[in-house]
């Protein structure tokens, strides 16, 4: 059986882990099946595992997979719990405690990325550009005197991804519109709100993927052009993302590309990102790049989303190569951290995964 890089299939067990709880999932069933299709060509044992409870997580660790391909962050201990509170288990932390290797970043980085305010605070502390902001908790009395930002402002859920809660009402020109949107986010998404001074410029996404040969981060920028809404505003709303309706264009201006890439790499490092992720950026009215938010577990659906498209447009990397790179990075890190031999390390050199350095 021919597998990884033309060799015999590598004798390792990989579990692709996702959750059926939509608001906590970073990996759809369609994405998981696409990843499964790739990995079964290269590894002897690959499964999709749904983790919805602590018992599911315990069972996963009990099977001792060689690598978890991570598609979720958090397992709630109560039905309505989420990453915004402590009533649950961070998957990466649990895997670390039990010595199970996984793809991508660790717990601290994911905690920062999931909470948009924490991410922006970290970025500001590193001296990097991001728009001024404030947060409004659910049920918190909202007074006009509390708003220290200049209008227009942009309002979105504090800890939801995928464009959830973003629509034509997200840009507010006055306090009344702001109040209505904050209440809608609390009612419809059970989330606190983050309010930012609106950035009117072009929007970009910079995918980051560590190069297997050099170990350096490759910055892969693309411009995202959403359809204009009824007010003429272009934003990546839930509807736009669901329909994959935004245009994705390569960045050809070298000065702009350098500005975007430098900001993205510095933000990724400030957050403690590892191996791969995505940094979203928007320009202000002067053309200066500002950090919007980070996604350290971006969508990996084939032909969809900015991460696969960034890889294809910038370095000609196809879907199979992208998935294998993410897996090899996780395997190599684990291999290097465990220099003593394990049962799986009794394979011949030709049978082991290639850890390019």
pLDDT confidence bin for 84, thresholds 50/70/90: low
CATH topology of domain 112-129+199-296: D-amino Acid Aminotransferase; Chain A, domain 1 (3.30.470)
pTM: 0.87
Omega within 30 of 0 (cis) for the link into 123: no
Q: List, by residue range, all CATH 3.30.470.20 domains of the chain.
A: 112-129+199-296
pLDDT of residue 23: 80
pLDDT of residue 342: 46
Give Cβ neighbours of residue 242 (< 8 Å, ≥ 6 apart). Answer: 162, 163
Mean pLDDT of 154-178: 86
pLDDT of residue 120: 96
Instruction: Name the architecture of domain 4-104+330-346.
Output: 3-Layer(aba) Sandwich (3.40)
Say which range, 259-263, 297-301, 326-330, has the weakest mean pLDDT.
297-301
Give Cβ neighbours of residue 30 (< 8 Å, ≥ 6 apart). Answer: 301
pLDDT of residue 131: 96
Gap between the terminal Cα atoms of the chain: 26
pLDDT of residue 167: 84
- Predicted confidence (pLDDT) at residue 82 exceeds the cutoff of 60: no
What pLDDT, in 10s, does the model give residues 167-219? 888 999 999 999 999 999 998 888 899 999 999 999 999 999 999 989 999 99
- Predicted confidence (pLDDT) at residue 318 exceeds the cutoff of 80: yes
Give me the residues paired with residue 321 across strands.
none
- Predicted confidence (pLDDT) at residue 355 exceeds the cutoff of 60: no
What pLDDT, in 10s, does the model give residues 229-256? 777 677 665 666 666 667 889 999 999 9
For 32, what's the count of Cα atoms within 13 Å in the CB-facing half-sphere?
Answer: 22
Give Cβ neighbours of residue 243 (< 8 Å, ≥ 6 apart). Answer: none
- Predicted confidence (pLDDT) at residue 353 exceeds the cutoff of 50: no
CATH topology of domain 133-197: Dna Ligase; domain 1 (3.30.1490)
- Predicted confidence (pLDDT) at residue 21 exceeds the cutoff of 60: yes
Q: What is the mean pLDDT of the chain?
A: 87
pLDDT of residue 243: 62
For residues 63 and 18, give the distance between their C-alpha atoms in angstroms, rounded to a whole number.
Answer: 16
Q: Are 264 and 208 in contact (CB under 8 A)?
A: yes
Q: List, by residue range, all CATH 3.30.1490 domains of the chain.
A: 133-197
Q: Count of CB atoms within 10 A of residue 143's CB?
A: 9
């Amino acid at each position: 059986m021919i597998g990884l890089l033309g060799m015999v299939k590598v004798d390792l067990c990989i579990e692709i882990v996702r959750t059926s709880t939509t608001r906590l999932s970073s990996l759809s069933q369609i994405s998981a099946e696409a990843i499964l299709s790739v990995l079964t060509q290269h590894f002897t044992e690959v499964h999709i595992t749904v983790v919805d409870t602590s018992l599911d997580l315990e069972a996963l660790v009990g099977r001792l997979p060689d690598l978890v391909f991570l598609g979720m962050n958090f397992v709630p201990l109560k039905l309505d719990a989420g990453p915004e509170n402590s009533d649950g288990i961070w998957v990466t932390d649990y895997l670390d405690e039990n010595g199970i290797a996984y793809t991508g970043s660790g717990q601290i980085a994911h905690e920062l990325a999931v909470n948009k305010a924490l991410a922006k605070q970290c970025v500001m502390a590193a001296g990097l550009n991001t728009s001024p902001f404030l947060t409004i908790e659910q049920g918190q009395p909202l007074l006009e005197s509390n708003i220290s930002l200049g209008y227009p402002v942009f309002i979105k859920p504090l800890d939801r991804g995928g464009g959830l809660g973003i629509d034509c009402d997200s840009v507010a020109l006055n306090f009344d519109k702001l109040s209505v949107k904050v209440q809608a986010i609390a009612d419809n998404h059970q989330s606190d709100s983050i309010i930012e001074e609106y950035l009117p410029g072009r929007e970009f996404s910079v995918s980051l993927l560590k190069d297997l040969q050099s170990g350096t981060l490759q910055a892969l920028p693309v411009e995202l052009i959403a359809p204009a809404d009824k007010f003429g505003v272009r934003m990546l709303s839930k509807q736009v993302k669901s329909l994959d309706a935004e245009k994705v264009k390569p960045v050809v201006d070298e000065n702009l590309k350098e500005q975007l890439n430098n900001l993205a790499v510095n933000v990724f490092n400030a957050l403690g990102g590892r191996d791969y992720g995505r940094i979203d950026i928007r320009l202000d009215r002067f053309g200066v790049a500002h950090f919007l938010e980070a996604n350290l577990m971006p969508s990996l659906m084939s032909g969809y989303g900015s991460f696969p498209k960034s890889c294809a447009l910038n370095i000609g990397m196809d879907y199979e190569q992208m998935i294998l790179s993410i897996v090899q990075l996780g395997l190599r890190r684990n291999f290097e951290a465990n220099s003593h031999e394990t049962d799986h390390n009794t394979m011949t050199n030709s049978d082991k995964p290639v850890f390019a350095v």
